[in-house]
């Protein structure tokens, strides 16, 4: 703002108060009076650097017709939106099976979208992912922001070097108290979230010292996974999954119950409710 730079911001699903309307949203309440911030709450066309861009906010019941008419009638080569398209990964390994058919947007040379946390591309559609880690589902998944060249149509990814979630494999068979006290960079875990995978804990005192050092380093949260019965697990993702997230436990529950209801829809409902709960105080 000090440099007088204009900023366009799309209204997304987590910005709105009602599911079926964008009329009441947090961004308007916070930044509605700022002349440098253009809040996009309806389909808007821009010409930047000779490139026609259609900006598309979250599509809901109230703006459905307006958004689809703009999509079909626009002559822009590029769309930037907050879209939910089926067949793309929301997080690594979690594929969206609801939302719009990607074929509906094939008329555009490029479609750049937010919404899903995982960065992925298929054909002309590019999910940019979130710029930083938010939940454990984002662990070890590349994050960052993008620069789009309106003249060359090149999309440059600038990776975020910082992480919020870490795992540490504890095995004191090959460790001694000197290594625990002096050789581990505890300062690097300040203000992070940790999962400690316990492979071998033969010396309870050393383990207590290790946890105490972690806590004093300023770690926000520590989850300890006793892995004594799973020594043959080598895959990092499997080890992380030993401490399941709330969403993963809900999905596991849905998989195990006997019901005539569509389980995919149930999982989507739980996912939406969980994300909504995260925004509440």
Q: What is the DSSP code string of the chain?
A: -TT---EEEE--TTTBSSTT-SSSBHHHHHHTT-TTEEEE-S-EEEEETTEEEEEE----TTTHHHHHHHHHH---SEEEE---BTTSEEETTEE--SSB-GGGGTTSSEEEE-SSSS-EEETTEEE---SS--SGGGTT---EEEEE-TTT--EEEEE----SEEEEEEEGGG--HHIIIIIS-GGGGTT-EEEEEEEE---HHHHHHHHHHHHHTT-SEEEEEE-TT-TT---HHHHHHTS--HHHHHHHHHHHS--SS-HHHHHHHHHHHHHHHHT--
Same domain, yes or no, for 171 and 154? no
Please check the confidence at residue 259 and state whether its pLDDT lies above 90. Answer: no
CATH of the domain at 105: 3.60.21.10
Q: What is the CA angle 179-181-183, rounded to 5?
A: 45
At 66, the pLDDT band (50, 70, 90 cuts) reads: very high
pLDDT in tens, 165-220: 999 999 998 888 998 999 999 999 999 999 999 999 999 999 999 999 999 999 99
Please tell me the predicted confidence (pLDDT) of residue 67. 97
Q: Is residue 119 part of a domain?
A: yes
Q: Is residue 1 part of a domain?
A: no
| β-strand partners of 144 | 159
Q: Is residue 2 part of a domain?
A: no
Q: Is residue 228 part of a domain?
A: yes
Q: Is residue 251 part of a domain?
A: yes
Please tell me the predicted confidence (pLDDT) of residue 243. 47
Please tell me the predicted confidence (pLDDT) of residue 234. 52
Please tell me the predicted confidence (pLDDT) of residue 142. 94
Same domain, yes or no, for 70 and 135? yes
Q: Is residue 82 part of a domain?
A: yes
- The domain boundary residue, chosen from 94, 125, 159: 159
Same domain, yes or no, for 181 and 221? yes
pLDDT in tens, 227-258: 544 545 555 555 455 445 667 777 878 887 87
Same domain, yes or no, for 89 and 155? yes
pLDDT in tens, 119-151: 999 999 999 999 999 988 899 999 999 999 999
Domain count for the chain: 3
Please tell me the predicted confidence (pLDDT) of residue 279. 56
Q: Is residue 215 part of a domain?
A: yes
At 1, the pLDDT band (50, 70, 90 cuts) reads: low
Range of the domain at 178: 165-241
Same domain, yes or no, for 213 and 269? no
Same domain, yes or no, for 132 and 17? yes
- The domain boundary residue, chosen from 159, 182, 202: 159
Same domain, yes or no, for 121 and 150? yes
Same domain, yes or no, for 151 and 173? no
Q: Is residue 48 part of a domain?
A: yes
Q: Give the predicted TM-score (pTM) of the model.
A: 0.78
Same domain, yes or no, for 102 and 170? no
Same domain, yes or no, for 233 and 263? no
Same domain, yes or no, for 40 and 67? yes
pLDDT in tens, 31-60: 988 888 999 999 999 999 889 999 999 999
- The domain boundary residue, chosen from 159, 184, 218: 159
Same domain, yes or no, for 154 and 15? yes
Sequence-distant (≥ 6) Cβ neighbours of residue 260 within 8 angstroms: none
């Amino acid at each position: 703002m000090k440099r007088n730079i204009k900023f366009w911001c799309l209204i997304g699903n987590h910005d709105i108060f009602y599911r079926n309307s964008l009329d009441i949203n947090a961004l308007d309440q916070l930044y509605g009076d700022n002349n440098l911030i253009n809040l996009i709450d309806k389909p808007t066309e821009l010409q930047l650097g000779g490139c026609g861009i259609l900006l598309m906010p979250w599509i809901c019941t109230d703006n459905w017709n307006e958004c689809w008419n703009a999509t079909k009638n626009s002559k822009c080569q590029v769309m930037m939106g907050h879209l939910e398209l089926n067949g793309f990964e929301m997080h690594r390994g979690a594929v969206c099976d609801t939302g719009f058919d990607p074929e509906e947007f094939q008329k555009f040379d490029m479609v750049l979208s937010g919404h899903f946390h995982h960065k992925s591309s298929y054909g002309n559609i590019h999910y940019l992912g979130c710029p930083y880690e938010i939940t454990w589902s984002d662990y070890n998944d590349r994050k960052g922001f993008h620069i789009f060249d309106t003249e060359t149509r090149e999309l440059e990814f600038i990776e975020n070097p910082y992480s919020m979630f870490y795992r540490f494999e504890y095995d004191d068979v090959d460790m001694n108290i000197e290594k625990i006290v002096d050789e581990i960079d505890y300062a690097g875990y300040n203000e992070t979230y940790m999962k400690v995978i316990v492979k071998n804990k033969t010396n309870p005192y050393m383990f207590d010292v290790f946890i105490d050092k972690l806590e004093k380093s300023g770690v926000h949260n520590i989850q300890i996974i006793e892995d004594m019965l799973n020594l043959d697990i080598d895959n990092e993702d499997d080890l992380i999954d030993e401490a399941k997230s709330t969403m993963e436990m809900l999905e596991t529950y849905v998989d195990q119950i006997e019901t005539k209801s569509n389980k995919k829809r149930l999982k989507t409902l739980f996912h939406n409710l969980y994300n909504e709960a995260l925004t509440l105080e």
